[in-house]
Structure 1
Amino acid sequence: MPEPLMAELPEEYRELAAHVREFASEVVEPVSAKHDEEHSFPYEVVAQMAELGLFGMPFPEEYGGMGSDYFALCLAIEELAVYDQSVAITLEAGVSLGAMPIYRFGTEEQKQTWLPPLAAGTSLGGFGLTEPGGGSDAGATRTTAREDGDEWVINGSKQFITNSGTNITSLVTVTAVTGEKDGKKEISTIIVPSGTPGFTVDPPYNKVGWNASDTHGLAFDDVRVPRENLLGERGRGYANFLRILDEGRIAVAALAVGAAQGCVDEAVRYAKEREAFGHAIGEYQSIAFTIARMQARAHVARQAYYNAAALMLAGKPFKTEASIAKLVAGEAAMDNARDATQVFGGNGFMNEFRVARHYRDSKILEVGEGTTEVQLMLIARSLGL
């Protein structure tokens, strides 16, 4: 990983990015519009991503991983998002939210059991945090888990859970109230395998964007799992998931940068090809300056997530930098999608054009994995406000 704000990446990272960019162009792009229109999960694309080892990049080889690092994962997510945000979030959530909690906090037995298929991409995991009455207030968890002999009995519900209902989903890790300590909720995390009796996956949401991403609500009705499915220390579930969210914000920022850059690339291409009043529209200063500003946003956002990732991998505090990256990149993606749509004019309002998909997809980047307001709150707190 380069030093923060280093201008050029080491060769290994450049080669990885180029390889994933080629894959995204040749494999992801040709089917992205179809899956978006049909709201269908791209199993064939995910299978090829698995063959490339993308789901195992940050995990050690002993658990079936590629032995790379989190920054490599972010680079891959960025390149995929240039062409298809749904595919990019499938990778981001599968690794950062599905597998990473087990790697970070699991016992050796849990890692040996669950990580190899997750790292191989032959199965996916979900991250069951958000609840219908909670939203950004993750501490308001109402889902409960009580001990009954050698089992946990789970009751409650979750919403907006990515990768939770595919044919290859193997588990969902959920936060649940397991008691009370010093007058406060004791929140723990528990692994719930797919197909466990009483565990119901709701029908898929009808979303504005990310239509090829798998997203469901979940219900738990006296769901019984073994006591050894407790993930991490009892009562540390909330703190552990906050750590996972901090890391995940860097990856989502990378996704947002890919979306922002994808809008730039499409706008440049269109501005050179489309003519109006006898000239390519890119020759008009208003269009050229709009696209220049788009490129500046993408560049600044990229440096922000590079910096946060460098700090994380160096073992230094990165919480605030992750929030800054998520904030800046999410807004860059949304602003660039809006501007690219304007450059395309009427064509930008047609779903056959990639900028239209980015316009619909990018809004969630200001909401998911911590809203813009949550990021502002965290940054303000870091300033002592």
Structure 2
Amino acid sequence: MSNHANVYIRNERDEELEEYASRLAEKIQLTAAKYDENGEFPFEHFELLQKEGYFKLPIPKEYGGEGLSLYELILVQESLAKGSGSTALAVGWHLMAFFSLSCSRTWKEKDYKKLCQDAVHNGSLLNVFATERDSGNIARGNKPTTTARKVDGGFVISGRKAFATLAPYLKHFTVMAFIEDENRVAEFLIEKNESVNIIPTWNTLGMRSTGSDDVELNNVFVKKDALLAYADKLVINRFEAFSKAYSLLLPTVYLGVASAARDFIIHYAEKKYSPSLGNVISEAPHVKQKIGEIDMLLSVSRTLLYSLAEKWDENIDLRDKLKNEVSIAKYMVTNNAIKIVELAMSIAGGHSISKDFPLERYFRDVQCGLYNPPHNDMVISQIATSALEEYRKDQVALQHN
């Protein structure tokens, strides 16, 4: 992270974490373009992250992890994303899974403890596969078509999940499935075996090396205790609890990519000589204008993201009341990231679309933020609905006074 961001480093621990993540980012940056080009999963990046203890950052200290706060996770993820947006996004789902679990503790403690220790000691990652091509995004209220049928001793699970990030790397994962006998949705732990088929479908515009393939479950038998938790309105749902603050790690990745674009274009502008200007292009008024806009957008995004994370960390009583703020942060940060990269590209001109420069990769990667939940239209609808409900509630209160 550049010096311009040091205002968000509050203490010595923050500084150590930022230096740690920046060191990792410098290493993975060396091969980020290669994996973007071929779309292959960057196993070497994850071997490095495992070796350096990155997988245990969100895991509670009681189970051998580092127990990082939301603010601290955002700090390391922004720095890591400057090296590779894809790698940061992919490992981010693991961080989000364990952070949401550490807050909600909706699983049986023995199951949670086992998976925590597996991540700490064996480098096992975790992600939940929820989205399906048939039923669409469950964030919009769709019921999964993946089914769990009760049998003697457990369940038989069948279905196909899409956008299964980390699929090539994981040895186990969780899935959302509909239990036919109970008319309820639940989260199940699945171990990879011969009945689990990874289908290499991930071939996208951006975030090309996240390994977000399809996963096909062909009558996978699991024992009864593989049912980790129900996920409906009858119980505390870890995906919805505490204002979904864990999801702030998504816009953090796009902020990191935009920050990398900012650093690149300033270096480029300071080195690029213009004969017509008789100086480096950073001295051109229109270039200064764009650099100023870039840094203002970055500052606004960082202030929004980090201040919200700090508020969430330090105010337990507020954690259930920040849902709108979390959604707004996602909307603003991801949309600002796109604007930042576009401004950087406009400074570089035609060179910006060359594969020799990282800007075109940054441009493709930040577009993906629009398609991580919640989508723009969902955020706007949520905020509008809240505004109208608040107004109507106030009107009713006035009528009764």
Q: Do they superpose with TM above 0.5?
A: yes
- Answer yes or no: is 1:19 the counterpart of 2:20: yes
- Answer yes or no: is 1:373 the counterpart of 2:394: no
- Structure 2 equivalent of residue 43 of structure 1: 43
- Structure 2 equivalent of residue 243 of structure 1: 241
Structure 1 stretches of 4+ moved >6 Å: none
Query: What SS class does the counterpart of residue 15 from structure 1 fall into?
Result: helix
- Equivalences for 1:187-206 in 2 at 5 Å? 187-195=185-193, 197-206=194-203
Asked if structure 2 preserves the Cα contact closer than 8 Å seen for 1:130 and 1:138, the reply is no
Query: What SS class does the counterpart of residue 373 from structure 2 fall into?
Result: coil
Question: Residue 229 of structure 1: CA displacement?
Answer: 0.9
- Structure 1 equivalent of residue 149 of structure 2: 146
Point out where structure 1 has 5 or more consecutive residues left out of the alignment.
1-5
In structure 1, distance between residues paired with 2:241 and 2:361: 31
Asked if structure 2 preserves the Cα contact closer than 8 Å seen for 1:58 and 1:72, the reply is no
From 345, 359, 362, the counterpart of 2:363 = 359
In structure 1, distance between residues paired with 2:339 and 2:236: 33
In structure 1, distance between residues paired with 2:243 and 2:353: 33
Question: Residue 234 of structure 1: CA displacement?
Answer: 6.5
In structure 2, distance between residues paired with 1:22 and 1:67: 20
Asked if structure 2 preserves the Cα contact closer than 8 Å seen for 1:175 and 1:238, the reply is no
- Structure 1 equivalent of residue 167 of structure 2: 164
Inter-CA distance 24–274: structure 2 relative to 1 (3 Å threshold): same
- Structure 2 equivalent of residue 220 of structure 1: 217
Query: What SS class does the counterpart of residue 232 from structure 1 fall into?
Result: strand
Letter in structure 2 aligned against 1:148 = V
Moved more, 297-306 or 372-381: 372-381
Asked if structure 2 preserves the Cα contact closer than 8 Å seen for 1:210 and 1:361, the reply is yes
Question: Residue 83 of structure 1: CA displacement?
Answer: 2.4
Per-residue displacement from partner, 1:220-264 (whole Å, max 9, x unpaired)?
222211110111246468933233992332111211211221111
Inter-CA distance 290–262: structure 2 relative to 1 (3 Å threshold): same
In structure 1, distance between residues paired with 2:121 and 2:354: 37
- Equivalences for 1:159-308 in 2 at 5 Å? 159-166=162-169, 169-179=170-180, 186-195=184-193, 197-233=194-230, 235=232, 239-243=237-241, 246-276=244-274, 277=276, 278-308=278-308
Per-residue displacement from partner, 1:261-295 (whole Å, max 9, x unpaired)?
11111111111111222221111111111111111
In structure 2, distance between residues paired with 1:152 and 1:101: 25
Query: What SS class does the counterpart of residue 220 from structure 1 fall into?
Result: strand
Asked if structure 1 preserves the Cα contact closer than 8 Å seen for 2:269 and 2:282, the reply is yes
Question: Residue 158 of structure 1: CA displacement?
Answer: 1.4
Moved more, 281-290 or 314-323: 314-323
- Equivalences for 1:99-138 in 2 at 5 Å? 99-100=98-99, 103=102, 104-119=105-120, 122-132=123-133, 133-135=135-137, 136-138=139-141
- Structure 2 equivalent of residue 331 of structure 1: 335
Query: What SS class does the counterpart of residue 163 from structure 1 fall into?
Result: coil
- Answer yes or no: is 1:382 the counterpart of 2:382: no
Inter-CA distance 244–361: structure 2 relative to 1 (3 Å threshold): farther
Question: Residue 171 of structure 1: CA displacement?
Answer: 1.5
Letter in structure 2 aligned against 1:262 = A
Inter-CA distance 120–334: structure 2 relative to 1 (3 Å threshold): farther
Question: Residue 296 of structure 1: CA displacement?
Answer: 1.0
In structure 1, distance between residues paired with 2:203 and 2:51: 30
Per-residue displacement from partner, 1:17-54 (whole Å, max 9, x unpaired)?
123113312x1111111221222222222222223222
Letter in structure 1 aligned against 2:197 = T
Asked if structure 2 preserves the Cα contact closer than 8 Å seen for 1:58 and 1:73, the reply is yes
Structure showing greater radius of gyration is 2
Inter-CA distance 384–191: structure 2 relative to 1 (3 Å threshold): farther
Query: What SS class does the counterpart of residue 212 from structure 1 fall into?
Result: coil
> What's the TM-score, normalizing by structure 1?
0.89
In structure 2, distance between residues paired with 1:177 and 1:383: 34
Asked if structure 1 preserves the Cα contact closer than 8 Å seen for 2:243 and 2:326, the reply is no
Q: Identity across aligned pairs (percent)?
A: 23
In structure 2, distance between residues paired with 1:142 and 1:212: 27
Asked if structure 2 preserves the Cα contact closer than 8 Å seen for 1:65 and 1:120, the reply is no
In structure 2, distance between residues paired with 1:187 and 1:205: 27
In structure 2, distance between residues paired with 1:382 and 1:165: 40
Inter-CA distance 100–201: structure 2 relative to 1 (3 Å threshold): farther
Asked if structure 1 preserves the Cα contact closer than 8 Å seen for 2:81 and 2:88, the reply is yes
- CA-based RMSD: 2.3
Inter-CA distance 349–355: structure 2 relative to 1 (3 Å threshold): same
Query: What SS class does the counterpart of residue 124 from structure 1 fall into?
Result: coil
Query: What SS class does the counterpart of residue 220 from structure 2 fall into?
Result: strand
Point out where structure 2 has 5 or more consecutive residues left out of the alignment.
1-6, 390-401
- Structure 2 equivalent of residue 3 of structure 1: none
